[in-house]
A and B are shown apart, each in its own frame.
Chain A
Amino acid sequence: MPEIKVTPLGAGQDVGRSCILVSIGGKNIMLDCGMHMGFNDDRRFPDFSYITQQGRLTEFLDCVIISHFHLDHCGALPYMSEMVGYDGPIYMTHPTKAICPILLEDFRKITVDKKGETNFFTSQMIKDCMKKVVPLNLHQTVQVDDELEIKAYYAGHVLGAAMVQIKVGSESVVYTGDYNMTPDRHLGAAWIDKCRPDILISESTYATTIRDSKRCRERDFLKKVHETVERGGKVLIPVFALGRAQELCILLETFWERMNMKAPIYFSTGLTEKANHYYKLFITWTNQKIRKTFVQRNMFEFKHIKAFDRSYADNPGPMVVFATPGMLHAGQSLQIFKKWAGNEKNMIIMPGYCVQGTIGHKILNGQKKLEMENRQTVIEIERCEPGCCHLSLEVKLQVEYMSFSAHADAKGIMQLIRMAEPRNMLLVHGEAKKMEFLKDKIEQEFTINCFMPANGETTTVITNPSVPVDISLNLLKREMALGGPLPDPKKPRTMHGTLIMKDNSLRLVSPEQALKELGLNEHQLRFTCRVQLQDPHSDPDTLSRIYTHLKSVLKGYTIQHLPDGTVMVESIVIKVSSSAEEPNTKVLLLSWSYQDEDLGSFLSTLLKKGLPSGLSSM
């Protein structure tokens, strides 16, 4: 039976990273290649030994597809392609291709330079890995090879995030990556057509939540900023250049205008350049439909938001500053943080996840005292005298962690299933016993199976592929002429024809046409059979008696008594003869063609039983 196999790599219940293997129609595809952010050792990488115990992965994988630039989806990519070894194509959207290397390099720097780790990929490896990337456009079918094709759909969530359809023949799988179904200020909602994949694969991390509204999150953000500014404090918002910063700026600008606020808002220049680049990326990638939901403006036509200069950080009075990098691990945001951290009137708002080892991560864990290097290089702080090369920083400012990232919740999953109409649903990264209600809900509402494999477990889904066949017009006309109801998916109709399989095409034609095309002669088969019976009548009378008998038994059949001395039942011919010596021993000759085989053998059996005595001859 044709089947599709899906295995989420990883162990046990951990949900920190995405890396899913799919086997479909003889092809092997890796979906995402994420890093587990909670581990510091090899457990952060997916366990590729499932694919092969040793050696490179190239011959075992037909392609790798990355859904978006978050590290838990692409963080292990350079490790996989350069340290384990993979030379095949890596597919991702254009924005993902542009942003991934930046994030990977940042991440590498933090892990290697700051934390001194060794078993990690290098800058060169990131570059070599990105050389293998083949960029995807939305809604464009890409042939990976003769049989495997993929297509990207808009997923919302972050810039460049895509849901991917993988198709081999008539079997297909759709992988959602991270997506959301409610549009926000700078991203639209995910969209897919009724592609009816055999399996829809989705994360279940947020499947059992009901999300608080976007406007409440925004309200909380504005309230915190407003309160800080009102009391004369300064607000630092560390952001990654290419992401949510623009959205928060639009929000603040609207609020400042409305409330007639006077405090300055600054956007660091590093961000400006990157943001323009981002803007161009975004506009060229999205299609018309999505562009409409995006606020049509040049990123820096803000009335109230100005470019930042380092010296402004020392200005008295309230202000709001957006600065990079987002995790406070280096650069301008860290410089500003060092200046403002000691004042409890100030506030820092962290709009996203911070990797372990960064200052951002530490303050989000409630740390109030930080050891910080004065110089560029990493020092073994424990071995030093206090004050010699590092300083102790007291964190007195208010720390706020706000999550703006858009994820689909329980309702969103149902909406997506309604859109795509998959035949089976598969949820990864969840505990099956904590999701039985969701499984029941999906199975009941859509009458499809819902699978929830644990990490490392393979799910096999039997598919029912439909095989498309071309039918000749003549054959179709002939069938239509037979009348009866038109065939539909719920009431298929049986028909006869000849299937010709040539090259990769399948055609259904009439037998005559098939014979003609193949240059064969049609053979007619005719059966004959002799039945003896005793009848004290003349030959013609016996024939008449046979005629009467058959007419009474075989109602609904065409039975004729012909002047040439034969009886015909449909196309079966019956003759009677006898020898002069034994005139009462009649020999019935039955002759029929192959098409009437059933009726013919029925007749011979019937007549062998003889004629009933009460029959009169006509």
Chain B
Amino acid sequence: MGETSSVENEFDDWFIESLKIYNNIHEYQLEHPTRVIEWTSEKTICVAGYSSDKNEILELLLPLKLFTDDNQGLCAERDFKVVHGGFSDGSIHCLKHIPGTRCVVTNDGFNSNLQVWDLGGEDCDVIKRTGVLQLKSASSDKGVKIAPGLTGDPCVLHGSQISDIQLTELTSGKPLYSLGKDIPDLLSSLQFVSGSVFLACACNGDLYVGDTRNPSGLQNNPAGGREGVHWCMGVKTDLSSSDPSSCSVARLSSACQVVVSDLRDLRAPLFQAQLHVQRKTTSDDFMKVTWAPALDNCLAVSGFDGMVRIYDTASWRPELMEFQPLFIHRGHMMSDDQFDTSSAVVTTHVWHPSRPRTVLSAAVDGSVHVWDWVDKATASC
């Protein structure tokens, strides 16, 4: 127990370094790992298990310490509070919160039906399933991607292939819009950029722009990457702007490339980068790219290994070049017992909606971290 091995030294190094590179960091251990982190309010998130059997869905209240900016020192509260919890009979691969409601919609990654849940209110802490939306879809073993509608009555956009993208009203189950084009490409990400304009990214990298008011209109923009490569997307929306096209789309490939496009002109990428990443996992399941909501030009990438990488795209160029990250979160690889780089994989990450440099991330070992990194450029030496 008293011997110092190189493993312990590496952990100590990171621990000491963490004092400088993070303003704050919290590490939690869930009983079961999650591959979803979804904001359900300014201070709460939802996580859920993905084992093949019974799973829990938890709504967690973030610790008070993260919200008290003045007098932060007087608050000792560092723990998550489980404010609501429920049980799911199957796995949860995708979980989306419907804005303006206490409702979340989930899919298990295999079947083509959506579970609808009520997170519960003040007087009951149990999350209950309120319904199931049975969808017709062609391929039924890849699961369904979900995007909540941003305006109007609660509705949800969903699909497993480009061809079966549909908008369904939640309360009635009525289909409001169908894409109707016979494009069998598997869907990787789906997101609304305004009340009616949405983006669909296919697994082969093609990016489609659709409008629920105009069922026949659809633009396609290939990513131009290699064959056999899997893609996903992250969208930065400026919701305060009424122009839906003022948004940036980043597409991430399994070959660790990022292509950034502007919706106003999707013909050629604005800029792109080759990320220097040594993939530790062959699965493309957990690939994720997101934009920082409260920072300019800032991207986060995860899913290739046990790290989350932050990039500043301000210096990126239209030609493919390699760029180094602005910041790397290594916390998930630093277990208390041993330094295990091979098995740690980050399953998902999300940005805090208003705190500029606060990120939440989760990994296959059940860890969930909340970290606030220091921007070296603005930090004092």
Residues of A in contact with B (beta carbons under 8 Å apart): 206, 208-213, 215-217, 219-220, 222-224, 226, 255, 258-259, 292, 364-366, 398-403, 409-411, 414, 433-438, 440-441, 444
Contacts and interface: CB of A to CB of B under 8 A. Distances in A.
B76 A216 contact: no
Contact of A398 (B27, B73, B83, B87): B73
B27 A414 contact: no
30 contacts: A209-B82, A210-B60, A210-B79, A210-B81, A212-B26, A212-B27, A212-B28, A212-B79, A213-B26, A213-B27, A213-B28, A215-B27, A216-B27, A219-B15, A220-B24, A366-B71, A398-B73, A401-B76, A403-B77, A403-B78, A411-B29, A411-B31, A433-B124, A436-B125, A436-B126, A437-B82, A437-B85, A438-B82, A438-B85, A444-B87
A210 B125 contact: no
A232 B334 CA distance: 32
B15 A215 contact: yes
A292 B81 CA distance: 33
A434 B122 CA distance: 8
A224 B29 CA distance: 24
Nearest to A351: B76
A438 B80 CA distance: 15
A226 B16 CA distance: 11
Contacts of B78: 211-212, 216-217, 220, 403
Contacts of A401: 73-76
A209 B80 contact: yes
A434 B27 CA distance: 24
Contacts of B76: 401-403
Contacts of A433: 123-125
A360 to B, nearest CB: 12
A403 B29 CA distance: 18
A400 B82 CA distance: 26
A178 to B, nearest CB: 15
B336 interface: yes
Contacts, number: 101
B99 interface: no
Contact of A211 (B18, B60, B79, B127): B79
A259 B84 CA distance: 43
Nearest to B367: A213
Interface string B122-148: 011111000000000000000000000
B175 to A, nearest CB: 34
Contacts of B80: 209-210, 212
A255 B17 CA distance: 12
Contacts of A211: 28, 78-79
B56 interface: yes
Contacts of A402: 76
Contacts of B16: 255, 258-259
A398 B72 CA distance: 10
A452 to B, nearest CB: 12
B29 A210 contact: yes
Contacts of B83: 208
A226 to B, nearest CB: 6
Given A434-B125, A437-B84, A222 B73 contact: no
B154 interface: no
Given A210-B82, A216-B26, 14 more contacts: A211-B78, A211-B79, A215-B27, A215-B336, A216-B78, A219-B25, A220-B78, A258-B12, A292-B1, A365-B74, A401-B76, A410-B82, A414-B31, A437-B126
Interface residues of B, number: 39
B30 interface: yes
B118 to A, nearest CB: 13
B79 A409 contact: yes
A258 B82 CA distance: 37
B244 interface: no
A206 B81 CA distance: 9
A293 to B, nearest CB: 9
Nearest to B366: A411
Contacts of A434: 125
Interface in B19-39: 19, 24-31
A438 to B, nearest CB: 7
Contacts of A440: 87, 126
Contact of A208 (B28, B29, B56, B81): B81
B84 A399 contact: no
A433 B75 CA distance: 27
B325 interface: no
A444 B89 CA distance: 13
Contacts of B71: 366
B76 to A, nearest CB: 4
Nearest to B78: A212
Contacts of B127: 437
B125 A435 contact: yes
Contacts of B60: 210
B371 to A, nearest CB: 10
Contacts of A216: 25-27, 78
A258 B123 CA distance: 51
A227 to B, nearest CB: 9
Nearest to B26: A212
Interface string B71-114: 10111111111111111000000000000000000000000000
A335 B230 CA distance: 66
Interface in B317-337: 336
B63 interface: yes
A364 B73 CA distance: 9
B19 A399 contact: no
Contacts of B75: 401
Nearest to A254: B12
B73 A400 contact: yes
A368 to B, nearest CB: 11
Contacts of B85: 437-438, 441
Contacts of B24: 220
A611 B31 CA distance: 76
